[in-house]
Chain A
Amino acid sequence: MKHLLGVSALIAAITLAAWAWLGTGFDKLLPIRASEESFYVDRLLGMQFYVIAFLFALIIGFMLYSFIVFRRRPGDDGDGDHFHGNTTLEVVWTVVPLGVVLYFAVLGTGYLSDITSPETDELVVEVTGSQWNWRFDYPEYGISSAELFLPVNRQTVLELTSIDVIHSFWVPEFRVKQDAVPGMVHPLRITPTETGAYVVRCAEICGLDHSYMLADVSVMETADFDAWLQSQMAPPTGGLAEVGAELAQVNGCLGCHSIDGSENTGPTWLGIYGEEVYLADGSEIIIDDAYLRASIIDPGSQIVAGFENVSMPANFGAVLSDADLDALVAYIASLGKDKE
């Protein structure tokens, strides 16, 4: 009995210390909360931390106590107390944890439905991942963007997909994440609650530059957001090449192709138009419009020598229209030799 009191005191002390620390320190363990979902996630995580702290103290308390109190005295080589077990105890420590985990599972189910259920008047944004770029389309407005703009306090449904490998959309301040899977569209619902600048960080390994698959996020007041929409919906000014430059930006071409001749994952675009290029199969080809188009929609068919071990997403044909292709080709052509 004396021992039980002692160990209980020890456990209580560790638990209370941990709880006290959690009470002040929990928020510092995580990024700020910037979406409605983040509050649910943090609440559940916080509760789990309290339980974890207690359970940790429970086991460690018993161990520390035994370590000190039941250590063998020098010269004593007798045995410990002889008992084999206690069925009541076993049942208790089966049933109580069972109750605890079931409680959390039920609670978690409720929270999950809270953070995934749709509201009316959602803003729809189509999100397309590709190696190593995020592209955002606002289908209701016909806008494409390389940066995600969101109105504050309005639920947005991100419709995630990918044209090559699996990526994962994650803004730590919004907490929730969802994979962008090729061949499928998965919704992710977010209601931002704080205006400001954030970063989408791709959370699923997607090849070479996975670390740098980032995109900026701006959460704005509704009025600012509307103003942004208006500015984007204005018809494009400038020539075909400028439209192409914009497209190259939005689709992440520039993540792999430089326009200043520097080395990158793919061949540079500077001064290639009209030039001869060696292909991996040894043949030689002149870069013209037809070759460029073919290289974009079916990059596997003609592989540039020296780039056999890397690949360009094979599926751009699915997201680029004919007009887009014209613009991109015009843009690459405009980077022709004279700019060298």
Chain B
Amino acid sequence: MVIFSLGIIRGIVGQIVGTAVGLILVTLIRLLMGLPAWKAEPAMIIGALIGAVGFMIGVGALSDWFKWMGGKETPMHHGPPTDKPAWTRYFSVDYNHKVIGVQYAVTGILLVLVAGSLALIFRTELAQTGLQYIEAATFNTLFGMHGIVMIAGILLGVGGMINYLVPLMIGASDMAFPRLNAFGFWINVPGAILVISALFMGGWDTGWTGYPPLSVLAPMGVQAFMLGVYLVGISSIVGSANTLVTVAKMRAPGMSWFRMPIFVWAAVATSIIQLTATQLIGLSFLMVTVERVLGMGFFNPVLTAHAIEVGSPPGNVVLFQHLFWFYSHPAVYVFILPGLGIISELLPVFARKPLFGYKWIALSSLAIALVGFLVWAHHMFTAGMEPFLRIPFQFATMLVAVPTGVKFFSWVGTIWRGKLEFPTPMLFVLGAISVFLIGGLTGPPNGTVTTDLYLHDTYWIVGHFHATMFGGFIFPFFAALYYWFPKATGRMYNERLGKLHFWLILPGFWVQSLGQIAVGLLGMRRRIADYDPALGIQNGHVWITVAGYVIGLSVLVMIYNLAWSARKGPVAAANPWRSRSPEFQIPSPIPEHSYAEAFVITGEPYDYGLPGATYVAMNPSAAPAAAD
């Protein structure tokens, strides 16, 4: 059958078969052990894991490695498949980083659509007090699902930008480990399928944070959610290792660390976080899993009789929060650092000026990443850890404002006295700065314990993080989509639709986040299906809901625009933005092997306005020897 030539279809079949094998296996084992044959949860866990392996085998992401294990050689195929239409490569394992980047980005957008639709459902419910359309249990599942699917969507979007751009920007032919790269993308698919399947396993009611003991008591959906996140986490780890090796080993001659395009710095800082911290969310979810199925009481404060007999101390629910936030705080910087990198990357192009304070911006990414490791407990100011510990975490948290501020001020320095032009990507960049600013500035009040005791778990926090994530990821990501669209497809998007998208989403966002902040200050708690009309926040909720729909509409405009333009848009020039970056010195769309010949870096990346300054010397033999 033709359809089975698509890797993704084979993968899904593999996942179904694998899951069935897992279910049967557990049932058989239980029969052999003389237990009641059917127990849903262990069967589901093993089924999910074997299903994920089944997917990876089916899609073909493991084939080469299996051959290596057998000692066979596996030459790498480049270019579109020879026996099938070219578009099929996007639905199958392909080792070209540009294809993988597109796969990441498109999957990310799909997840954002799913998660956004869920938000619109529960926002509709919240437009009025009382419960009209959905039950409390459904509501609880929806916001958790919205949160985690959005986060998965962001991680994929980040993966998309990094995979597509980093090798191009440093002049590498591909990522250092193309097979690992494909693996890293595809493992997300069974992961996402699992997370979403939680909807059909009773959902769960803990939100994306999955705090025990609630997550230990919750319906089985929580298990699907955690396993799904685990798989997505594997992707983060292998992807970041790949990125770091690529940047360390494969830069073009002459590209010293401080001559890399600034986005690459952001990718490095992001990867450091992803490589290390991700393990901790995996561990924390694993601990919940074994507590659920094996009764291992990491987080259970109640001891069994036998445990008392052996003198064991009880489990501790706060431990989970430490492990969880040790990842999940740094993770928020994973969401934004690439986005801030995009901002720094595009501003000089559209201001026709050098990036102000290149080194400061580059190092501030690292500083944010590193300080970000020291602040996790600011999510736990009310959680009941040692009271005095709140003080050092308060200080550390406040410090993050400093490197972030450096970025803002440097951006201002970059546009100051420039010659600004405002095509869609630039609008999104400026929008991103304004949006991220309000998100960032609402951070320090959460960081001081005294005020956080009020703000914690209110919609103020919800407003804070939507603003940071829209400003730090959604807006820059959209900017990047428009900006590199001509390089990826060879065609231009429609500028008027692009502007329409922007002028819908910007006010939509402002109303949504300011609305959330306002109702939060008045006492609106997070994660509630119904609220007290006495708080006087009904109008606010109507505004937020309407704004949510406007944002949704604007995203549909973008999708229409990009889908249409990819086929029918005007043919794009090689360098529509007059950029100095290497990927703009080659034709659009970028050829299969990006750079026909290796290039040499002979100057500073952002010397706009300096006559005669070169950055990329495409013809190395003719170029002067690289400096420093």
Contact = CB atoms under 8 A, between A and B. Distances in A.
Contacts of B137: 208
B418 interface: yes
A86 B382 contact: no
A266 to B, nearest CB: 14
Contact of B391 (A82, A84, A112, A186): A112
B454 to A, nearest CB: 4
B598 interface: no
15 contacts: A41-B453, A63-B433, A63-B434, A81-B353, A81-B417, A83-B356, A93-B406, A97-B401, A101-B398, A165-B214, A165-B217, A177-B454, A177-B456, A177-B457, A205-B211
Interface in B485-544: 518, 521-523, 525-532, 535
Given A79-B609, A82-B353, A62 B412 contact: yes
Max chain B C-beta neighbours (<10 A), residue from A45, A56, A175, A211: A211
Q: Chain A's interface: helix, strand, loop or mixed, by majority?
A: mixed
* Interface size range of chain B in the complex: 35 or more
B420 A67 contact: yes
Interface stretch (A136-144, A196-204, A218-226): A196-204
Interface of A: 3, 29-31, 37, 40-41, 44-45, 48, 52, 55-56, 59-60, 62-63, 66-67, 70-72, 76, 78-86, 89-90, 93-94, 97-98, 101-102, 104-105, 107-109, 111-112, 115-116, 164-166, 168, 170, 172, 175-179, 181-184, 186, 199, 201-212, 214, 309, 311, 314-315
B325 interface: no
Contacts of A94: 402, 405-406
Contacts of A79: 352-353, 419, 608-609
B140 interface: yes
Given A66-B415, A211-B136, A164 B448 contact: no
A166 B419 CA distance: 55
Interface string B190-234: 000000000000100111000101100111000000000000000
Interface centre among A45, A94, A179, A201 (most CB of B within 10 A): A179
Given A55-B437, A177-B453, 6 more contacts: A108-B448, A181-B318, A182-B302, A184-B318, A199-B532, A208-B140
B450 A66 contact: no
Given A45-B445, A105-B395, A179-B383, A115 B450 contact: yes
Contacts of B314: 183
Nearest to A311: B217
4 closest A-B pairs by beta carbon, nearest first, are: A183-B301, A79-B609, A108-B448, A80-B418
Contacts of A170: 457, 525
Interface string B111-148: 00000000000000000000000001100100000000
A5 to B, nearest CB: 14
A85 B433 contact: no
Contacts of B136: 208-209, 211
Contact of A166 (B214, B438, B453, B456): B214
Contacts of B353: 79-83
B526 A205 contact: yes
Nearest to B448: A108
Interface in B438-463: 438, 441-442, 444-445, 447-451, 453-454, 456-458
Contacts of A104: 398, 444, 448
Contacts of B206: 205
A168 B381 CA distance: 12
B422 interface: yes
Contact of A48 (B140, B408, B451, B531): B451
Nearest to B458: A203
A166 B324 CA distance: 16
Interface of B: 136-137, 140, 202, 205-207, 211, 213-214, 217-219, 301-302, 314-318, 351-360, 382-384, 387, 390-391, 394-395, 398-399, 401-402, 405-406, 408-410, 412-413, 415-422, 430, 433-434, 437-438, 441-442, 444-445, 447-451, 453-454, 456-458, 518, 521-523, 525-532, 535, 604, 607-610
B450 A44 contact: yes
A72 B421 contact: yes
A233 B25 CA distance: 61
Contact of B451 (A41, A59, A168, A209): A41
Contacts of B359: 85
Given A101-B399, A177-B457, A62 B384 contact: no
Nearest to A185: B384
